[in-house]
Amino acid sequence: MGVPQLDRRAGFRRRTIAISQTVLIGATVLALAACSSGKATTTSDDDSAQTGTSSGSKAGGTVSIVVIGGSSSDPFWSSVKRGGQDAAKAYGSKAKVTFLGPQNYDNLGPDAAKLAQTALSQNPDIVVGPDWVPDSQDAAFKAITAKGIPLIIYNSGGTAAAKDVGALKYVGSDDEIAGEAGGKAFAEAGVKHVLCVNTQPGTANQEARCKGIKEGAQSGGSTSTQLALPSANFGNPSAVTQAVKAALLKDSSIDGVVTVGVVDADSSAAAIKSANKTDSIKLGTFDVSNSQLTRIKDGSQLFAIDQQPYLQGFQSVAQAYQYVAYGLQVPANPDLTGPALITKENVDKAISGTKLGVR
């Protein structure tokens, strides 16, 4: 997510910041079923799944894992889901995974809290979830850990959020560090004023992204301002395009635009073109999609900041299973999956990942 947004496995050279992780690879079948209403659907090879709480090991039994994620219509979360599926294959019918997601992001904090409550009501062995809006979600997360159900925070929140709610750890990218990488890349490219388009203002990860962009730009002698749009605009191409175009026409000093997610990047690309500023404004985005990679390759987009959501799903599910089944824990905390900056220099490797369905 961004926010809910993103991407997949890497192996290419990083231009500014690159963090690689070691993961366990496995094989067999499990499907994580996305739920657009917040109600869970699951598929598994074994319908006799055991559920319960665990603080150590549950060797030999089926481990039930609830993964809270973004909307099923958000391409970023398709990558997360694919990573979780691939991790679960190693355990076959020994792993039962339920994927919960909101229908949209219009009421993200309260909706995410309800998803955590739904997860708790299923009495799983372990829960994995992002801490997008701590003020709304933390009470529900604390209710999970208070019941003795282990929790892994991933994608958003960081180690501080994980500690606050009693979670085992944090798996994901550091959004502020990721933003710094993007801000520095803009400054190195000669951009003086970056507009950070935020369609999810108030969410921890998106605010951190724009903050990091500003810090990175300032370190290179540039500046950044934020364009905060109503969250209802997220995923609304027409609304975002018009808002960004208006901002560009109002302030001629803006020569860089960065978005918190790929859908908004497509809208911003349209806004830049509509404002007749394709020659004077450079575009960047958090997360990755085919359209971003295409623009980077043809030179019309400067970069994409990849938090590698495939790894977020893979590592979170793998570690959740290993903790419950065997009492194993990876000591790295945070367990970082990014950022990795995709530029014209390494975009071909990223494109290869899309052909494999993991980016």
pLDDT digits (tens, 9 = 90+) for 289-319: 999 999 999 999 999 999 999 999 999 999 9
Mean pLDDT calculated for residue range 318-330: 97
Residue 38 sits in a domain whose CATH number is 3.40.50.2300
Residue 233 located in a structural domain: yes
| Alpha-carbon span 116 to 163, nearest angstrom | 17
Indicate if 181 and 294 belong to the same structural domain: yes
pLDDT at site 297: 97
Structural domain contains residue 184: yes
Q: What is the pLDDT of residue 1?
A: 53
Do 49 and 145 reside in the same domain of the chain?
yes
Confidence of residue 17 (pLDDT cuts 50, 70, 90): very low
The Cα 256–Cα 46 span in angstroms is 51
Q: Please give the single-letter amino acid code of residue 52.
A: G
**pLDDT at 232 (0 to 100):** 81
Pick 1 or 133 by higher pLDDT: 133
Q: Are strands 151-154 and 303-306 parallel, antiparallel or unpaired?
A: unpaired
Residue 5, in any domain of the structure: no
Share of the chain above pLDDT 70, in %: 83
Beta bridge partners of 32: 42
**Residue 196: inside a domain:** yes
| Model pLDDT, residue 260 | 95
Tokens encoding 24: 């366990």
Q: 194 and 76, same structural domain?
A: no
Same domain, 45 and 142: yes
Distance CA 341, CA 147 (A): 40
pLDDT at 3 exceeding the cut of 70: no
The C-alpha atoms of residue 145 and residue 147 are separated, in whole angstroms, by 5
- Overall average pLDDT of the 265-272 stretch: 98
Residues 69 and 118 in one domain: yes
Whether 294 is in a domain gets the answer: yes
Neighbour tally for 85: CB within 10 Å: 18
Domain membership of residue 103 (yes or no) is yes
Residue 185 and residue 156 share a domain: no
pLDDT tens column, 149-189: 999 999 999 999 999 999 999 999 999 999 999 999 999 99
**Strand 63-68 relative to strand 95-100, pairing:** parallel
**Tokens matching residue 267:** 């809208």
Answer yes or no: do 234 and 271 share one domain. Answer: yes
- SS3 for 328-347, per residue? CCCCCCCEECCCEEECCCCH
Is residue 313 domain-shared with residue 169, that is, in the same domain? yes
- What sign does the dihedral 246-74-38-140 (CA atoms) show? negative
332: in domain: yes
pLDDT over 50 (residue 329): yes
Position 74 confidence tier, pLDDT thresholds 50, 70, 90: confident
> Which structural domain range is residue 259 located in?
175-306
Judgement on whether residues 54 and 89 belong to the same structural domain of the protein: yes
Predicted pLDDT of residue 358: 81
Task: Give the per-residue pLDDT at 58.
Answer: 66
Q: Are residues 55 and 180 in the same domain?
A: no
214 and 252 share one domain: yes
**pLDDT mean across residues, the chain:** 86
In b/e form, how buried is each residue of 40-64, taking b as 16+ CB within 10 angstroms? Answer: bebebeeeebeeeebeeebeebbbb
Relative to beta strand 340-342, strand 303-306 is antiparallel
Structural domain contains residue 143:
yes
The CA distances from residue 117 to 129, 260, 265, in Å, are 12, 27, 33
Q: Which is more confidently placed, 352 or 20? A: 352
User: How many structural domains compose the chain?
Assistant: 2
pLDDT at 44 > cutoff 80: no
- The pLDDT confidence band at residue 57, using thresholds 50, 70 and 90, is low
**How many CB atoms are closer than 10 A to CB 33?**
16
- For residues 19 and 348, the model is more confident at 348
pLDDT interval class at 53 (50, 70, 90): very low
Angle at 74 between CA 72 and CA 80, to 5 degrees: 80
pLDDT band, residue 59 (cuts 50/70/90): low
For 96-135, write each residue's pLDDT tens digit: 999 999 999 989 999 999 999 999 999 999 999 999 999 9
64 and 130 part of one domain:
yes
- Give the count of alpha carbons within 13 A of 21, CB side only: 28
